């Protein structure tokens, strides 16, 4: 993963003996890490002016926060789709007694099974909650759960249609965990970037150069994000002795 590699490249850098050059290199690398941590860097930024793509990279603090919201939202949908149990639930075996046919807005044929079962000699029927493009086989047996006090309240308990909510819950959880991991990386990049930038400013100050902290940081971060700075030529993009010997 490029962002992790950039983090460790910055840690492994051997900085120049010249305080002015060292300070400039640290400030540039720090600004790149901050920009990558907050926004993510696109292909153009990674390749510098030679890049032909202006697309922004995925990730960053903003992308991670959006991922958290999406992940939680998908999980809530999944939990909302989960069937509820009846207080006096009973189980029995039923069958597909008929199949309803309809067409959607695109003119495609859709099918919905109608289930039937018996309780104390009384027959009950209810339709499936889902429509599919595959015709169910009439007469197939199915597992049914129903309310003992009101058998008209019933649901099917087997089949993939009754487990689809787990796909939403699992997918949302996966997005949530990956977003948390991305946020952790983003925060680490931002913290290291600010530390490098502060150290670089101190080096430049020792060399007699001055500048505003936030103005310099934002200026360099914008240049890194837009591709004006070739990231691969900075301490972030090159491991080891990329910025001269100590």
Asked if residue 242 lies in contact with residue 41, where contact means CB atoms within 8 angstroms, the answer is no
Asked if residue 89 lies in contact with residue 145, where contact means CB atoms within 8 angstroms, the answer is yes
Phi, psi angle pair for 154, to nearest 5°: -145, 160
pLDDT the model gives residue 17: 79
39-48, 62-71, 111-120, range with the lowest pLDDT:
39-48
pLDDT the model gives residue 97: 96
pLDDT the model gives residue 82: 82
Whole-structure pTM value: 0.66
What percent of the chain has pLDDT above 70?
A: 82
Rounding to the nearest 10 degrees, give the CA dihedral for residues 72, 178, 35, 23: 140
Asked if residue 230 lies in contact with residue 29, where contact means CB atoms within 8 angstroms, the answer is no
Q: Is residue 107 predicted with pLDDT exceeding 70?
A: yes
């Amino acid at each position: 993963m490029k962002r992790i590699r950039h983090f460790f490249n910055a840690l492994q850098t051997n900085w120049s003996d010249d305080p002015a050059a060292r300070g400039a290199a640290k400030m540039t690398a720090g600004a790149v890490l901050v920009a990558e941590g907050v926004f993510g860097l696109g292909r153009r930024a990674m390749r510098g002016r030679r890049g032909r793509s202006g697309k922004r990279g995925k990730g960053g603090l903003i992308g991670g926060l959006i991922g958290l919201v999406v992940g939680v939202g998908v999980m809530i949908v999944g939990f909302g789709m989960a069937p509820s149990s009846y207080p006096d639930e009973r189980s029995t075996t039923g069958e597909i007694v008929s199949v309803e046919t309809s067409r959607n807005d695109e003119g495609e044929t859709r099918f919905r099974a109608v289930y039937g079962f018996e309780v104390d000699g009384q027959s009950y029927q209810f339709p499936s909650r889902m429509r599919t493009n595959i015709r169910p086989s009439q007469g197939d047996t199915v597992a049914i759960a129903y309310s003992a006090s009101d058998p008209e309240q019933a649901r099917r308990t087997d089949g993939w249609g009754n487990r689809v909510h787990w796909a939403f819950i699992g997918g949302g959880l996966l997005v949530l965990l990956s977003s948390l991991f991305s946020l952790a990386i983003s925060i680490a990049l931002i913290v290291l970037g600010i530390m490098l930038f502060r150290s670089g400013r101190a080096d430049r100050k020792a060399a007699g150069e001055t500048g505003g902290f936030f103005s310099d940081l934002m200026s360099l971060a914008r240049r890194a994000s837009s591709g004006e700075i070739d990231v691969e030529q900075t301490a972030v993009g090159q491991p080891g002795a990329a910025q001269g010997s100590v």
